[in-house]
Structure 1
């Protein structure tokens, strides 16, 4: 993570009971089999898909969806969808709470994440990200033109790119101000008049009796312990994904206006107590 965000209060210490460790083994084993099996099938299909369709991916995104849907079932996290998922050409923007967002947002919609370049080198996760078509970006201005070209080619190919304008993950109790940098990619001559951006609010509710921030992953929290804690929870919570009205890029004067409108929509989709800055 970059530009790490820290709340006023630190998270509860991670404690795993003997029952929790049994759940870690059962759920973790099932999740590992699911991810490896899905990855093998995806790579096998991609061998035929790439030479026939190029950037277009008519088959493999369905595998990603099924794996993410099954993954949430293995965790035991209830997953609910609200609103209409956009069928127009364009991108998705959402608030960012945790690595579980990958499952929650992929489970019901064919999307491709935009992620910082460092993720490509993360053990396991980087491999999965590359295989599923993630777009990796860097903040180095020397690569700005190259990244813009990648964005355009992917969007013109009909890919729904998803990124997190907050720039970091949080405790899920608020929406941070949206950064407008990546919105500039939609304002090129070839894209502006044809693209829409759909704001999405992702709302996690903790297991009964746990810290309301249970699923949040922020600051210096390590991925491994956080995942173990999630796998070990005897009771799980839920995640609600709210799809808002798509916004046409050409209706906005610039990237800052579009980013502000998206931020307003995402914040409005959160529970009242989470709509504060």
Structure 2
């Protein structure tokens, strides 16, 4: 199992006021209705879509995208994206800071997450992940060939696969070294000359007066309390998704060279965004 990143400084304590609890209740009910109502719709549509289209999903990704765009409206959180979306066969790689990444990365681009197999068994989250087409993998060398074939099938079906090469989430203020294992799947004879990879940087800005790592979710932090604190916030911050220029896999000698390039692009995007924020801090 991949070790979780943790901070030497414990998570910041969150105090929720009476009005905060009310906000959390209202937002939670609306967000839950949005997510699970659209999930029911997605499952109904998939009953028709699957036998007619197989792996291809011409309709249901738009339902997922609708949910993710409107989730930020429900939270009252600003969403912004910059850069051009990749076209053609390819994968997306990004830094990983929060459970909110799922909404942010789906809000503008229709993608399918690559996740560790354990997530499939998580209550609620696992169900949502399976319904939206997440690719589950096991970190077992004996199954490497099988998983590579699965990647190829999904990519050939036009799916944009997204994974987090850091292997764990952080506080959103850093980019950890990229693990290179999953990049190897793109260097097969069937994919190398056709594949592109697009690096993406996620940048979270905390609400005014809150710690910079407010939206970060890492280590052994429980999901429930973090979700509750986000729902209860009187003022929300923002998230920016920066799409960097995609690169062709064939231009790189091996998976390590490709991973280094993607890591540098994602790291540079975060460093530039954080530096600009320090130079122009928000007004209190």
TM-score, normalised by the number of residues in structure 2 = 0.95
Q: Deviations over 1:69-127 (max 9, x none)?
A: 11111111100010001112100000000000000000111100000111000100000
CA drift of 1:8 comes to 2.4
Task: Output aligned runs, 1:99-248, within 5 Å.
Answer: 99-248=99-248
- Report what 2:281 is aligned to: none
Distance 2:143 2:73 in 1: 40
**Which residue pairs with 1:269 in the alignment?**
269
How many angstroms does 1:273 deviate by?
7.9
Rounded Cα–Cα distance in structure 2 between residues aligned with 1:2 and 1:226: 22
Is this contact kept in 2: 1:86–1:198, CA < 8 A?
Answer: yes
Gap runs ≥5 in structure 2: 276-284
User: Partners of 2:147 and 2:228 in 1: how far apart?
Assistant: 35
Give the CA deviation at 1:197.
0.1
> Residue 62 of structure 1 aligns with which residue?
62
- 1:252 aligned to 2:252? yes
Task: Tell me the equivalent position of 1:45.
Answer: 45
Q: How far does the alpha carbon of each residue in 1:247-270 deviate from its partner, in whole angstroms, 9 at most, with x for none?
A: 100000000000000000001111
Match of 1:94 in 2: 94
- Structure 1: which 5+ runs fail to align? none
Separation of aligned partners in 1, 2:157 and 2:19: 48
2-structure distance, mates of 1:272, 1:106: 23
**1:274 offset after TM fit, Å?**
5.2
Taking structure 1 as the reference length, what is the TM-score of the superposition? 0.97
Q: How many residues align?
A: 275
